[in-house]
Structure 1
Amino acid sequence: MSHSTEQPLSLLRSLIQARSFGDSTLRFLGSLLVSKDVKSLIEVRSGVTQLLRSECISVLLSISDKTVREKLIVLEFFVRAFALVADHESCLALRYEALVMRQMKSSNYQWLRVSPLEWLRFVEDALNNGFHSVAEKACENALSYLRNNDVLKPGTDAFTENLNAVSEITRLRNRAMTLVASRSVQVQAAEYLRRKTTEQKMSGLSFKGKRCLATTAFRNGIKRQNVRRLNQHQSLLKINNELDGSHLNLR
């Protein structure tokens, strides 16, 4: 990483470690991503993404004993930060964490309630970014939560809006399940093709090995046969020579 990149990243790290989770830090982060040089922009974006991931884990571990409000402020900061660097996976993961946290604490704090529209927006973003299994899980969680909540009781505020949102979440859940199943079939098919290719290669090597062994055995057999014939020929010559010698002695 270049020296010009290290200095602003070091400043961003200092701001996060100082727990400066306000708009000013986000504006500074956004200023780092403004570059006319594409190569520099890619380098800065990569460096910022790695820094955010590392610092996010450290910060979340350090606030385990904080209040729900304080935790949500930190999660919101990192959600917006990851959105700026287009790290959709980390952004969605933290959004889901925040929604689940609010859902769990909403029985004690009404202001934490997650509306059907919030769940719907999250599911749509997860599907649009290709995180089908995350969308399916979020749909199941949302439907289970909303059915046990009074937001769907007739006469409540925004009843029709909530009902439409739940209907859309149900539709998206079915779509997500289909996509997950399709993906599973594709993965299994790819794995099957890889396995068959490997087996064919191994079979080919085995056949070559057997063919080499057969060829070697055939050649060795010919050599043994030739040696045997040579020995037979030499024996005949020896006998003939002895007979010739005997005839000479008789004469």
Structure 2
Amino acid sequence: MVEQDGNAATPSALALFASCLSYRRFGDEDLRVLEAALSTGADVPALLATRSAAQSLLQASAAEAFACTAMGSVLDSGSSLVADFFARAFALVGDVESCLAMRYEALLLRDAKCCNDLHLQVSHQEWFTFAKDSLDNGFYAIASKAFANALAHIHPSHPGHLVSANPIEEKDKINDITGLQNLAKSLSAQHSVQTQSAEYMKRRASGVHEKCNLQSGKPKLTEISMFRLGIKTRNIKKLLRSQERNLGDLKQS
């Protein structure tokens, strides 16, 4: 029985959810157990602690479940359903990155296993929706791949392609997807360059601090040296802020 006291209820509810996962239960009822655990707590810090604990639990359980799938266990036949379960669970705890990763896994598994079943195969609209969500959340490389899958599914050569009653509308749809895919590619490249640049500048900043530490046993820096060090540090921070603004402008354009 779950304790009624706010502080004790959360661990008990989370332990119940952990038990569900240990028995490989991946259903709607188990998600409701998780939801109950996340809504039980005496205060905000307790809720945040529960959310963090649930996130760690889900990450470990998902890794274990898909390790079993890779080995060809009984989970393999329902692996797309398992991925969908974890996607919804990660959404509940607010882990956007893991949620998108699980959604991507579920779509790929359905694509591989249900390509000949019109009722179960992934539609171009599902890929498009996932791609847009990935783009909006800053996962540009995955978004680009998902847009490519959406285009592949809308192509006449795809097994699940349905002949459109309005060829012009279908052409416009293809152009829209292509445009967003190009945007995702551009943002991915820009993000990669800026990430490398930011890491380089951080290393430089770290080098400045290390140099300063090495000299700590020596006489204090002269005023002019301290001034130059301050200028370098400020310029590094200004560059990083400028790069972040440029990336933000690209996302809004």
- Same fold per superposition (TM over 0.5): yes
| Deviation readout 1:225-247 (Å, 9 max, x if unpaired) | xxxxxxxxxxxxxxxxxxxxxxx
Q: Which of 122, 131, 134 lines up with 2:142 in the alignment?
A: 134
Give the Cα separation in 1 of the matches to 2:210 and 2:95.
42
Matches for 1:39-188 after TM superposition, within 5 Å: 39-63=45-69, 64-66=72-74, 70-147=78-155, 148-149=157-158, 155-156=163-164, 163-188=171-196
- Partner of 1:112: helix, strand, or coil? coil
**Matched residue type, 1:43:** A
Higher CA-based Rg: 1
Bigger CA drift: 80-89 or 133-142? 133-142
Give the Cα separation in 1 of the matches to 2:173 and 2:51.
36
**Aligned residue in 1 for 2:26:** 21
| Deviation readout 1:99-158 (Å, 9 max, x if unpaired) | 1112223344333321111011101111111111111122233334443315556x4478
Number of residue pairs matched by the alignment? 208
- Partner of 2:119: helix, strand, or coil? helix
Give the Cα separation in 2 of the matches to 1:69 and 1:161.
37
Percent identity over the alignment? 37
**Matched residue type, 1:93:** A
TM-score (norm 2): 0.68
Q: 1:176 Cα deviation (Å)?
A: 0.8
Q: Which has the higher helix share?
A: 1
Q: 1:20 Cα deviation (Å)?
A: 2.5
CA contact 2:114–2:120 (8 Å) conserved in 1: yes
- Partner of 1:118: helix, strand, or coil? helix
TM-score (norm 1): 0.68
CA contact 1:120–1:168 (8 Å) conserved in 2: no
- Partner of 1:111: helix, strand, or coil? coil
Pick closer, same or farther for the CA change 1:188–1:57 going to 2, 3 Å.
closer
**Matched residue type, 1:6:** P
**Aligned residue in 2 for 1:38:** 44
Q: 1:8 Cα deviation (Å)?
A: 2.0
Unaligned runs of 5+ in 2: 1-6, 216-253
**Matched residue type, 1:121:** T
Give the Cα separation in 2 of the matches to 1:75 and 1:157.
34
